[in-house]
A and B are shown apart, each in its own frame.
Chain A
Amino acid sequence: MGETEINWPELLRAADNASAVEQLRGLVLAALRVALRDRSDVSEAHLEDFTQESIVRILAQLDRFSGRSRFTTWAHAVAINTAFTELRRKRWQDVSLDALTEGGRQLAEHPFAPAESTESSEERTVLLDVLHRAIAEKLSERQRTAIVGELQGLPFDQVVALLGTNRNAAYKLLHDARKALKQHLAAAGISAETIRSTFAP
């Protein structure tokens, strides 16, 4: 039977959903095996754990499935997010909020390495100067802390956890910070084109 003929949400919501859940478990495990096949830090036991956790999340979030993709595609996206989030958490669990906050403080005071300003064209120096002032004056300490986390490659979920907030609030915090910096650069007469050409790699 083709997948389009299976009404997964209905089968999974049914009181007697055991065989549908079992079938989905097999599909999710196979998908995670493909998604994580290049990761040497993932064992068969990890795959089993991720699959179990994914099934719980998929069942809890069935209402979020819009029906605009195949159900299994949506379910695999949830499973991949579950697995990657856990792997990122393990990798970055030792970063502390204090270190990030301190980084944010430094960002306000001395954001750029000396080479950035001495080896720069005049245009670039002006841009960095405007950017520095915007970072110091237009952003809150929490916004600077979040930006430092992002620039250090910290996963968004870790930034969220360290700030002690939720994902949506943290996204808004960062989005507002980026908007404030963008507005400040525009108000200083620095066009997007100048920014791009000045900082072309």
Chain B
Amino acid sequence: MNPLNSQQVRELIRVVDQTREVEITCSECRDAVGEYLERRLAGLPIDAALERVEHHFTLCPECREEFEALKKVLNATG
């Protein structure tokens, strides 16, 4: 691999900056994402446990991608 380019350096710095002592894993995110999305779509408040889902999205592009897909599904099926 070539040395990191500006974008990769920024991404590394960003994920380091976003790092928390306690985080959820992808499977924990997947278990909670349905509740998180339903509450968001209904305009209901997000508690601390669900806020961790939101935080996970800042570190995990795959869970974020799957969340966007799930949002499309819920928007289409109601």
Contacts and interface: CB of A to CB of B under 8 A. Distances in A.
B26 A171 contact: yes
A34 B74 CA distance: 9
A151 B27 CA distance: 21
Given A110-B3, A181-B16, A199-B10, A73 B37 contact: yes
A155 B32 CA distance: 21
Nearest to A179: B19
B69 A73 contact: no
A78 B8 CA distance: 30
Nearest to B39: A69
A62 interface: no
Interface stretch (A11-19, A47-55, A99-107): A99-107
Contacts, number: 127
Main secondary structure of the interface of A (DSSP, over half): helix
Contact of B26 (A78, A156, A196): A156
A201 B37 CA distance: 30
Given A171-B26, A192-B17, A116 B77 contact: no
Given A31-B77, A34-B73, A35-B72, A84 B66 contact: yes
A6 to B, nearest CB: 15
Given A78-B30, A151-B8, A199 B13 contact: yes
A46 interface: no
B76 interface: yes
A164 to B, nearest CB: 18
B34 A34 contact: no
A35 B38 CA distance: 17
A31 B78 CA distance: 11
Interface in A90-113: 99, 102-103, 106-107, 110-113
B70 A73 contact: yes
B35 A171 contact: no
A199 B11 CA distance: 10
A113 B2 contact: yes
Contact of B77 (A34, A68, A102, A131): A34
Contacts of A73: 34, 37-38, 70, 74
10 contacts: A31-B73, A73-B37, A73-B70, A80-B66, A81-B66, A115-B6, A116-B4, A128-B9, A182-B16, A195-B17
